[in-house]
Structure 1
Amino acid sequence: MKGAKLSVRALKTRQGPDIEVYAFFLPGDQVTEVADISRLRRGEGNLEGFQRKEIRAHVSEIAEFLSQGPVLFPNAIILALSPQVRFESARGPAAERGDVRSGVLHIPIRAEGQRAAWIVDGQQRSLALSKAKQAQLQVPVVAFISDEVETQRAQFILVNKAKPLSSRLIDELLPAMSIALPKSLKPRQVPSALCAALADHPESPFVGLIKRESQSDGAKGVVTDSGLTRAIAANLRPAGALGAYDLEGGTDAAFQALCIYWSAVRDAFPDAWGLSSEDSRLMHSAGIQAMGALMDPIWTRADASADPAAEVAAALDRIAPRCRWTSGDWEGLGWAWDDIQATSKHVKGLSEHLLKLDRELSRPTR
């Protein structure tokens, strides 16, 4: 390996205090051959490195996504390069455009722990690329010259301190995506699509009531889409109200079931429906999730009846007098109506309370 090097066509410029910066492409399996991962650790009392531990599940998920076949993967890897790399400028007037020059970058290939490059951002992606079946995928790389750990740490922090995409934004975008998705996103696509349909379809009881990331600041909405999406996702579990639906053929049947159920909720609680979550805990994320949990037993019974809408309405009418969405105290819980918050304790407690009421009140009378 002595004297071995990797040569790639690259563009060179300068940034900051005269630091050389390069942009080029590398086959995915070669990133970890030329660059080390500087792990964060303590050595003799001193802090060394800066990278987090490998997240195996995340690496495996990316590798699985990459192995599906031809994929778009434009996410750039950021490397810090040792001053020992060498840039050979191309000749001729076309090789330079303003402050950018083209040429060939020569990176020494060395054993692990002695390499001439370090991964600043993209270690999980780099590891996944080395394990994927499509290891020859050309990935973009941006690199800067610096063998100072302090500079590398500063860039690592700056790159990773940005706030990640909100879960709500991702959920709103998912229904419009038809490309192959990472494994962790696929289960979220159908609940997100159903939430979007409930937000927009004129037959939906939620039309005009759902808060979404894409809305302008002045737009009205009282139900947070994330709470409703979570409720629908729970309904889609195998034992849930919608778990037996064949979604491969579309979501129309599931959408109709949701419309029937939530329209009945609206009609059972007319004084609480459509208010802000501050004035009505039915419209609060906790209330939406609890009523979503109640849909499982009610719709399971109703779906097998001759008149599902009437069955749902009857079940909710039995429960309605015991509910305290806008005033009073919940008997059996010891909570005032406005004590309810979107915590796991309150969502679980309220859900279990409503399910218990349904079991007790739906028993046949002798």
Structure 2
Amino acid sequence: MEPSTKRTLKPAVTKTRSASMTLNALRFRQGEATVYSFVLPGDKISQIADMSRVKREGRSNTLVGFQRSEIQTHVRQIGEYLDKGPGLFPNAVILAITPSVTFQAKRGPKVDRVSVEGVEAGRLTIPGRPDGEKVAWIVDGQQRSLALSKSKNGGLLVPVVAFESQSIETHREQFILVNRARPLKQRLIDELLPATDDTLLPRDLAANRVPSELCNLLNSKPQSPFYKRIARTSLKPERPDVFIDSAIVRMIRDRVNGTSGALLHLKASGERGPDLAEMYRLLSAYWSAVAETFPQAWNLPPDKSRLTSAVGITVMGVMMDRICARVGFSHKNPQAIYTTELKKIAGECAWHSGSWQGLGMPWNALEMTSKSSTRVIQLLSAAYVRASAL
């Protein structure tokens, strides 16, 4: 008898759907947004809300998410405090919640006695979702929520404030604003800024939005001398000769916002705002010229070349201002012009070997301090003026 050819079909996996949740809540408006305030047992927060961690996806390295990775030590400390028993834990968790929730305002004479105008009391219903899907995202309180979900006292009631939004851009904006007074890494803030609306940000944060966006362009375009060599919070290059994004962002910001910055004239181009395309063109051309003038130093990691370290980026950024002030910007082949100008100071430089003769110090004594970078800038600026006068 021939063996049976019948195949046993595996039963389809059916996703279970979480039950909906109805809560007493207050509803009010802030600008165009609807906001809810309610209370939940701490270990229930993770059932309705997810954490959108910052990462990049796809071939275009599109930025998604906004949360930093959980800090295990902090989570453990919170958990230890909760496990000691009932205690005071009044810090509110802030959520961005989808418009799929429904709110039924209470009716009757008691409603007339609400003491704050514009606030409605009622019942908020949070719909159930299949396993793995959430109806909200944690904007603030990631570590507290993790600790509560793991604690034996996770039933502790926790205040929650949730604003309706389907927009990840709005989530990022609120995440930055809520965390700016805390030790949130500036590199993470800078990386998130290009995906936010700068009109809603404080002036000091908005100043880094354009530089960070240009940093993204320099890292993502194959023609750029920085292509895939800039380390960002969400993106760790595999090669060792990388640049730290904070140094690149700071260098660009000084060119855009400085009183003598090489990109200042492109900061406001009529009603269109900053001319990012032209800024990128000039930055790419200039730093390609730097790479051409110092090829060996350009392809070494920061510990073996001061050119690729923060001090090298700072110094050569200032030299971009000096050179552009002399040669202007209207060139069909700006890289060739910049290369010619950089050769005037090449003999003074000791980025990866030898000594800075004009400063009387070995190459590796150059440090990222104001005093050290100022000395090199003065040396190269003076050399450039002398060579240009010949």
> Shorter-chain TM-score: which interval?
0.5 to 0.7
> In the aligned structure 2, how far is the partner of 1:200 from the partner of 1:233?
19
Tell me the residue number matched to 1:242: 263
1:48-89 per-position Cα deviation (integer Å, ceiling 9, x unaligned): xxxxxxxxxxxxxxxxxxxxxxxxx9758xxxxxxxxxxxxx
Which residue does the alignment assign to 1:123? none
Residue type of the alignment partner of 1:258: L
Quick check: 2:266–2:274 contact (8 Å CA) kept in 1? Answer: no
Shift of 1:333: 1.1
Q: Which runs of 5+ in 2 are unaligned?
A: 1-24, 27-36, 43-81, 94-114, 116-137, 142-153, 163-178
Which ranges of structure 1 fall in alignment gaps of 5 or more residues? 1-6, 31-72, 77-97, 106-137, 141-159
Is 1:312 the counterpart of 2:338? The answer is yes
Q: Which amino acid aligns with 1:167?
A: Q
Asked if 1:280 corresponds to 2:318, the answer is no
Aligned to 1:18: 86
Of 183, 187, 210, 1:164 maps to 183
CA distance in 2, matches of 1:232, 1:208: 18
1:267, CA displacement in angstroms? 0.5
Q: What per-residue deviation string (whole Å, max 9, x for no partner) do you get for residues 102-155 of structure 1?
A: 9xx9xxxxxxxxxxxxxxxxxxxxxxxxxxxxxxxx967xxxxxxxxxxxxxxx
Change (3 A) 1:338 1:186: same
Root mean square deviation of aligned Cα:
3.8
Q: How many residues were matched structurally?
A: 241
Distance 1:301 1:23, change over 3 A: closer
2:379 corresponding residue in structure 1: 353
Q: Which residue of 2 aligns with 1:295?
A: 320
User: What is the DSSP-based 3-state SS (H/G/I as helix, E as strand, rest coil) of the residue aligned with 1:262?
Assistant: helix
Supply the distance in 2 between the matched residues of 1:172 and 1:24 (Cα, whole angstroms): 26
Rounded to whole Å, the distance in 2 between the matches of 1:277 and 1:286 is: 10
The 8 Å contact of residues 175 and 190 in structure 1, kept in 2 or not, is answered as: yes
Structure 2 distance, partners of 1:185, 1:203, is 29
Residues 288 and 335, structure 2, Cα contact 8 Å, conserved in 1: no
Q: Which residue of 1 aligns with 2:359?
A: 333
Identity of aligned pairs, percent?
A: 34
Tell me which of 267, 275, 280 is aligned to 1:255. Answer: 280
Question: CA-to-partner distance for each residue in 1:223-249, whole Å, 9 max, x for gaps?
Answer: 111111111111112321111114415
Q: In the TM superposition, what are the counterparts of 1:77-116 in structure 2 within 5 Å?
A: 99=155
After superposition, the Cα gap between the structure-2 partners of 1:292 and 1:21, relative to the gap in structure 1 and judged at 3 Å, is: closer
Q: 1:13 to 1:280 in 2, by over 3 A?
A: closer
Q: Residue 224 of structure 1 contacts residue 285 of structure 1 at CA under 8 Å; is this kept in 2?
A: yes
Question: Which amino acid counterpart does residue 380 of structure 2 have in structure 1?
Answer: L
Contact 1:211 1:220 in 2 (8 A): no
Contact 1:211-1:225 within 8 A present in 2 as well: yes
1:214 equivalenced with 2:234 (yes/no)? yes
Matched, 1:175 2:194: yes
Q: Given the superposition, is the C-alpha separation of residues 75 and 339 from structure 1 closer, same or farther in structure 2, using an over 3 Å criterion? A: same
Partner of 2:131: none
AA matched with 1:294:
M
What SS does structure 1 have at the residue aligned with 2:201? Answer: coil
Q: CA deviation at 1:217?
A: 7.5
Contact 1:199 1:210 in 2 (8 A): yes
Q: Distance in 1 between matches of 2:211 and 2:182?
A: 24
TM-score (norm 2): 0.54
Distance 1:353 1:24, change over 3 A: closer
C-alpha change, 1:10 and 1:347, in structure 2 (3 Å) is same
Contact 1:168 1:225 in 2 (8 A): yes
Residue 172 of structure 1 and its aligned partner are, at CA, apart by 1.5
Give the AA of the match of 2:190: D
1:341 positional shift: 1.4
Indicate conservation of the 8 Å contact 1:199/1:209, yes or no: yes
Deviations 1:143-201 (A, max 9, x none): xxxxxxxxxxxxxxxxx9x9822111211121122362122200011111111111111
- Of 336, 339, 342, the residue aligned with 2:368 is 342
2:219 paired with 1:193: no
Q: How many Å apart are 1:305 and its aligned residue?
A: 5.5
Aligned to 1:356, the other structure's residue is in SS state helix
- Paired amino acid for 1:187: A
Partner of 1:11, secondary structure, is strand
Structure 1 residue 19, shift from structure 2 partner: 3.0
Q: Which amino acid aligns with 2:39?
A: L
Q: Confirm or deny: 8 A CA contact 1:10 1:23 kept in the other structure.
A: no
Q: Residues 302 and 164 from structure 1, CA distance in 2 versus in 1: closer, same or farther, beyond 3 angstroms?
A: same
